Chains A and B, each alone.
Chain A
Amino acid sequence: MTPPDLVVADAAVPGRDGRWTLVCAAGQVLELSPHDPAARFPEARVIEAKGQLLLPAMTDAHTHLREPGQEWKEDIASGLAAAAGGGFSNILCMANTDPVNDNESVTRLMLRRASEAWPHGPRLFPVGALTMGLAGKQLAPMEELLAAGCVAFSNDGEPVADTELFRHALEYAADLAPVIDHCEDPYMAKGAGANEGVMSARLGLRGQPDVAEALQVARDILLAEYLNAPVHLAHVSCRRAVELIADAKRRGAPVTAETCPHYLTMTDAALFGYDTMAKVNPPLRTDDDRLALIQALREGVIDILATDHAPHAAHEKETPFEDAKNGITGLDTALGSLWELVRLGQLSAEDIAQRFAWRPAEIFRLPHCRFAPGDPADFCLFDPEQSWVVTPETLRSKGKNTPLLGQSLTGRVTLTAVNGHVVYELARAGA
């Protein structure tokens, strides 16, 4: 047997009492056992994790890494740097690059860039386009994309308006890989960057009603049931959609759903003063929606968390509200911002492990770590007491576009390992 080479000693583990020691060898978990101060591991790097939480490294099912084509916003190297810093081992990146990821050359380029920049991880899993050029006219070559390394298909921000074509896309993909759908009615949602409601009425902004999202969620649920083909609903933001998904799951419909940290921690009140950093699609909604999402996540109606990491350059947000790009950068701050909800008792650390690590990896059939012998040694350490201020310098992503800028978060990832390789380690203050 290979001797232990990496040990995390004296950590807290979600859902388990006491202190624990994780023993790894050759990139895999050997065992997670109760902490024994007398134990010695002469050939291993031993990480003292007293006061820290040992979490499975997370899978982010929804990011935009912008390469190829928009490297001024982000590239795969900087996106994966942010992922490592955020505690992620697996990253799914969307196909809305330039050129679009609708053929194997683009997929292979993405994977090559990832392995050049981060040979030991985080692992990149491209999401292939569902239709050619995301144009919603012709199916993309899904088997070719799958063979090249894609793990799912999506038209992302350009949801397929033609219901007949979307039906065929679901049927065709059903035997290949999951389809992720960004749910918005293409007519009702057009050109709106704010939730339709009291805030948009007061600010004089074009509003996107939650109904525009829920209509498309209903369409997808009906098709998924009718075709018995799985659909994953991206970034659910409102109560109306939650209620539809809950009903569908009671009937056993093959749908899964995600929401994002910003929908759980912010509302459209963030738009006050026309803060373009808070402009995102779907838009931040009301507190009632926010509370419905938290409950749905706890209950599993919403299966997973994903960041919808959408980096933009400064000048793309330094505009009047209606001209600003949609999107919030999220990989660096995901866990820190969610931890507020854990402190408030609205989510547990186990919920985070389940919804941000294990369940997304299951849905997209990716390697993940449940701390069982033989699992890949994918984990992160999280210091729940460490306060830090979100500044451009603390974000490893090129995109500094987050409404959290200038705010203080309590809880910070201090180390991330993928396959037993430490891919991120926070420099200790004073060290």
Chain B
Amino acid sequence: MNWPHKDLLDVSQLSREDVDVVMRTAASFREINARPVKKVPTLKGKSVVLFFAEPSTRTKTSFDIAGKRLSADTFGLAKSGSSLQKGETLKDTVLTLQAMNPDAIVMRHSSSGAADFVARRVSCAVINAGDGWHAHPTQALLDLFTLREVWGDDLVGKTVTILGDVAHSRVARSNIRLLTMLGVTVRLCAPRTLLPKDARALGAKVFHELEPALDSADAVMCLRLQLERQEAGLLPDLREYARRFCLTKARLKNAAPDVKVLHPGPINRGVEIASDLADAGNSLILDQVASGVAVRMAILYLHITRKEKGETA
């Protein structure tokens, strides 16, 4: 199998077959994470730059662990402490990184399209770890991996409700694209201020009230509510948000009997999800974190070991 993509910018570039390859590869790596010695030499001698121009702990750590478990050398570069803070343009920063000849750049940036911008300017693989409100493909893939572990490979006919701040969420956009491609019915639920004006164009059904949005849902993905949204006038306050939209056990009563609950983290307990629900048996939140390492190992492996056209195996 030769992976056809130089970069991973969003799930929209992937075919169903590509998604299956990622899932199978991640499944084969997951076993490594349970071993006493969690390291294989697969990417020995390869270098991965973790370029995070926006704060992140869990995604960066997840990629770092994924790279190291495959024996790649990983190098972290944050915005603070980098030349970006000294006024260097993104173009110059990435050309400088490129000149050091890494095998992959994993990047996060606050601007939608930033990963695309970088990918067109460097020859190494670019893995989008989140660009603005646009895309977070590895999060969508790890969410899928988590759901497939529970539901099996076929997700056709399932209903997933994405609850919360869709407007500003790259996690939501990537999940909508990936899940709808696989035959899942996606519902969005949020106050209108937290949905894009033309939310239906994303390919999902739109709700502004919890009850109908959760009715018979097979899974609910809560999104993190950024606390600055209330300062921007999009919400009265967090208490009011929780009154309308906080996911609780009681509010799930009309969902599917074994409804699953996901959250990309970090959680605001009591705001978007009740504390007891986050810790309950049907919560997959920690499974998502575990899946994250396996999926990111797969993504790094597929992109770094791919053969260029014309190269012989």
B-binding residues in A (CB < 8 A): 196-198, 200-205, 207, 209, 273-274, 315, 318-323
Q: Is B114 an interface residue (CB 8 A)?
A: yes
With A318-B91, A320-B113 known to touch, is A203 a contact of B134 (CB < 8 Å)?
yes
Specify which chain A residues have a CB less than 8 angstroms from the CB of B170 in the assembled complex.
Answer: 204
A203 to B134, CA, bound (A): 6
Q: Is B111 an interface residue (CB 8 A)?
A: yes
Pick from B89, B90, B91, B196 the residue with the most CB of A within 10 Å.
B196
Count A-B contacts at CB 8 Å.
71
Q: Is B112 an interface residue (CB 8 A)?
A: yes
User: Which residue of B has the minimal Cβ distance to A271?
Assistant: B113
Pick from A196, A205, A274, A320 the residue with the most CB of B within 10 Å.
A320
With A318-B91, A319-B91, A322-B132 known to touch, is A207 a contact of B197 (CB < 8 Å)?
yes
Interface residues on B, range: 20 to 34
A320 to B198, CA, bound (A): 23
Q: Are A274 and B198 in contact (CB under 8 A)?
A: no
Would you give 24 A-B contacts (Cβ < 8 Å), ordered by A?
Answer: A200-B198, A201-B196, A201-B197, A201-B198, A201-B199, A201-B201, A202-B173, A202-B201, A204-B112, A204-B135, A204-B170, A205-B132, A205-B133, A274-B112, A315-B91, A318-B89, A319-B91, A320-B111, A320-B132, A321-B112, A322-B110, A322-B113, A322-B132, A323-B111
- Least CB distance, B83 to chain A, in whole angstroms: 15
A-binding residues in B (CB < 8 A): 89-91, 109-114, 116-117, 131-135, 170, 173, 196-199, 201-202
Q: Are B90 and A319 in contact (CB under 8 A)?
A: yes
Specify which chain A residues have a CB less than 8 angstroms from the CB of B173 in the assembled complex.
Answer: 202, 204
Specify which chain B residues have a CB less than 8 angstroms from the CB of A274 in the assembled complex.
Answer: 112-113, 116-117
User: Which residue of B has the minimal Cβ distance to A198?
Assistant: B201
A50 to B253, CA, bound (A): 81
Q: Are A319 and B117 in contact (CB under 8 A)?
A: yes
With A274-B113, A319-B90 known to touch, is A197 a contact of B198 (CB < 8 Å)?
yes
- Least CB distance, B61 to chain A, in whole angstroms: 24
- Least CB distance, A283 to chain B, in whole angstroms: 14
Specify which chain A residues have a CB less than 8 angstroms from the CB of B197 in the assembled complex.
Answer: 196-197, 200-201, 207, 209
Specify which chain A residues have a CB less than 8 angstroms from the CB of B135 in the assembled complex.
Answer: 204
- Least CB distance, A11 to chain B, in whole angstroms: 45
A209 to B196, CA, bound (A): 11
